[in-house]
Structure 1
């Protein structure tokens, strides 16, 4: 079935979920080539880089030119488009295929279609697509696809209900649905449910490679070397061939436990399984050799990658830069960064952030500021993480005006802020020390606009007023508006500050 391997979560399954076909192969096979050797349907479809362009229009024109369209070719193009996250065009191809009476769609095709509907139009549309599907198509693969969609959207209740329905229908004949559920429990932190799900899996079928890799990830979360070794032994007993992800997980577990000899052995096995097809293994290897403080193997591997690949990905550059800064070799890191800057063209802020992080953590704020100006001139748009790095840097230098300025830029760069209580506490603590009521009130306004206000924040503002020996105004009204409850500390601080003269900033900020 077309869907069964593709829907395996990448983080859990590693190589098992990766696509084999290259874009060049797909393009070469994608049509009859009557208009010339270079003109194929695959090439035409893969050229649709911009979402506004329509794959359906390309398919219609191809047919109008009297050329044949074969289902297997479109399936390959869809796989390649999904690989590069070009879901809209992949969905348009699937929708066009449904309108062609001569194309016999299998349950796996419907499953891929459902997955794409979920990615492009959301969960409700995917559920409706499933409901409207012919009954003959509602088999194990389409049910697994819907289950996977529930997992991706964090709908544990619906995912568990779907698993129950699949059990009743006799569809739990492979490990895939259980792997989805284990991935869900891992993501929600419900680690205790992973062993339970493995037991349930064994009632119906046998674990596969992805199952074992998720199981090892569970062992990693539990920091249990003994459990990981038992899982690996069981894997060998059941003759399930490990992949590079298996040894990456084992290597990480050993290294974190200080078992460096075993960790190196795992990395040797991991590298044996790295290849052009399993390219992601190299990024993981770079990181793991750096965590072993093994500069020799880090440099050897980077040189090997230069021989294997014409161009590095952003992920590979980021892993190498992070590794070099871990060794403190900022000169080499700057050289690698310059190479990325001249070849990539993506302007991904995560890459320069690795350099900025090194500068800031090492107190090199002037260099960080200069580098920020440089990357902006080169077209990089600073991200939330970029500005947060500067917030921490300025905070350590007591430059509170800069802290608030960068925090404002950080919060404005997001549609919705995922609160960072540690950051808020650190800033308020410094403001309290300085008895800076203006900064305290400005910060409260910023966090309110970001949708994050707590009782402790108000308490910190009140402590700042108390240290300045000033009284804030209408605190109770402001807390009511923010739907924040007072606690005993709030009341104590209100009584204390009521003895002081009114702070002018309070009236301004309220």
Structure 2
């Protein structure tokens, strides 16, 4: 009993000695150990080298400078700086509200020439300057841009700076300039103005902005409707609130159409029409457009006849909308008749009409 326990202790000591490198490992054990190690290494994928993003994300302290880390990472022979990765890092840092570090990376990639700045890059850079150094510095950056870089995106970024700082006069003047240049064709600039009026407590002006947006042919997005609903709710304007919610049903229908859920789209459009004010020209035009996307000629013509009957005044946007749908259906003869009808309406001339028909001829 004593001898067996002594043997056990001896084996334990020998094993510990070998593990610690104090005693040699027998040849057959070394081969077995080596083969097990190799098989384990073969079964485990090699560790992936750190990316630039994974190197920078942990450095969240705003006081931490990122340029030395980028230079260090780029100095490694196996690492390659790609413009798509640098843009993604700037975008992610803006999302995480790390504006100072995002600006540092943006400045570095511009100065070093790793990324040739496009108007969208200038817009991001301008917005970051506004966050960190204020509107004055953002204006200086904008004014120093070349004419070819002063496109809709940098203009929109400067408008966002004005609205963020509640600079009403500058925002309105800049918005007007954008309209003159033809840069106000999506919901975003209008959303900026509506957010501005909301933040300064002038909720009564929000519906006027969304009405202008629709008159000018821009389609409100979900954010537009959310701002408008909040404005009506703040003022306890329940009539306006209900109308907006009803209008949003047609937005839901458009998503069904995009998802090719035709039955859902038809059902939603029927509900929207049932609640629609028959004298609302804009709502009727929107339904015509949606039925046009569904390819339903009979519904389009029925709604157009309803619009002509109930709406006292027919705007250019009503005619252009219907003309575009007829061209989409390849109903060229009917489109020509509608063009003649528009000419006799005494509405102001608009180049969109002949252009739409010209596309149909092509």
The CA RMSD over aligned residues, in Å, is 2.0
1:63 aligns with 2:74: yes
Q: Distance in 1 between matches of 2:192 and 2:222?
A: 13
Q: Distance in 1 between matches of 2:149 and 2:90?
A: 19
* Matching of residues 406-417 of structure 1 within 5 Å: none
- Alignment CA distance shift 1:149-1:94 (3 Å): same
SS of 2:60's partner is coil
Residue aligning to 1:370: none
Residue aligning to 1:121: 133
Q: Distance in 1 between matches of 2:158 and 2:196?
A: 14
Q: Distance in 2 between matches of 1:123 and 1:185?
A: 19
1:217 aligns with 2:230: yes
Please state how far the C-alpha of 1:102 moved relative to its aligned partner.
Answer: 4.8
Q: Distance in 2 between matches of 1:231 and 1:81?
A: 35
Please state how far the C-alpha of 1:165 moved relative to its aligned partner.
Answer: 0.6
Residue aligning to 2:101: 89
- Of the two, which has the highest radius of gyration? 2
Residue aligning to 1:174: 186
1:196 aligns with 2:196: no
> TM-score, length-normalised on structure 2?
0.54
SS of 2:80's partner is coil
Residue aligning to 2:240: 227
Residue aligning to 2:122: 110
1:74 aligns with 2:86: yes
Please state how far the C-alpha of 1:241 moved relative to its aligned partner.
Answer: 5.1
Once the two structures are superposed, residues 161-202 of structure 1 have per-residue CA deviations (whole angstroms, 9 ceiling, x without a partner) of 110110111101111001000110111111221122112212
**Residue of structure 1 aligned with 2:221, choices 188, 208, 213:** 208
Residue aligning to 2:56: 45
* Matching of residues 422-501 of structure 1 within 5 Å: none
Q: Distance in 1 between matches of 2:108 and 2:182?
A: 32
Question: Given that residues 156 and 189 in structure 2 are in contact (C-alpha distance below 8 angstroms), is that contact kept between their aligned partners in structure 1?
Answer: yes
Please state how far the C-alpha of 1:36 moved relative to its aligned partner.
Answer: 5.2
**Residue of structure 1 aligned with 2:196, choices 173, 184, 189:** 184
Please state how far the C-alpha of 1:226 moved relative to its aligned partner.
Answer: 3.1
1:237 aligns with 2:250: yes
* Matching of residues 267-286 of structure 1 within 5 Å: none
Question: Given that residues 162 and 171 in structure 2 are in contact (C-alpha distance below 8 angstroms), is that contact kept between their aligned partners in structure 1?
Answer: yes
- Alignment CA distance shift 1:113-1:163 (3 Å): same
Gaps of 5+ in 2: 1-45, 257-362
Q: Distance in 2 between matches of 1:151 and 1:163?
A: 10
Q: Distance in 2 between matches of 1:137 and 1:112?
A: 13
Residue aligning to 1:101: 113
Please state how far the C-alpha of 1:130 moved relative to its aligned partner.
Answer: 0.9
Question: Given that residues 209 and 240 in structure 1 are in contact (C-alpha distance below 8 angstroms), is that contact kept between their aligned partners in structure 2?
Answer: no
Please state how far the C-alpha of 1:105 moved relative to its aligned partner.
Answer: 2.4
Q: Distance in 2 between matches of 1:98 and 1:85?
A: 21
* Matching of residues 268-417 of structure 1 within 5 Å: none
- Alignment CA distance shift 1:212-1:240 (3 Å): farther
Gaps of 5+ in 1: 1-34, 243-510
Once the two structures are superposed, residues 366-398 of structure 1 have per-residue CA deviations (whole angstroms, 9 ceiling, x without a partner) of xxxxxxxxxxxxxxxxxxxxxxxxxxxxxxxxx
Q: Distance in 1 between matches of 2:194 and 2:160?
A: 11
SS of 2:185's partner is coil
- Alignment CA distance shift 1:46-1:156 (3 Å): same
Q: Distance in 2 between matches of 1:119 and 1:208?
A: 26
Please state how far the C-alpha of 1:63 moved relative to its aligned partner.
Answer: 2.1
SS of 1:192's partner is helix
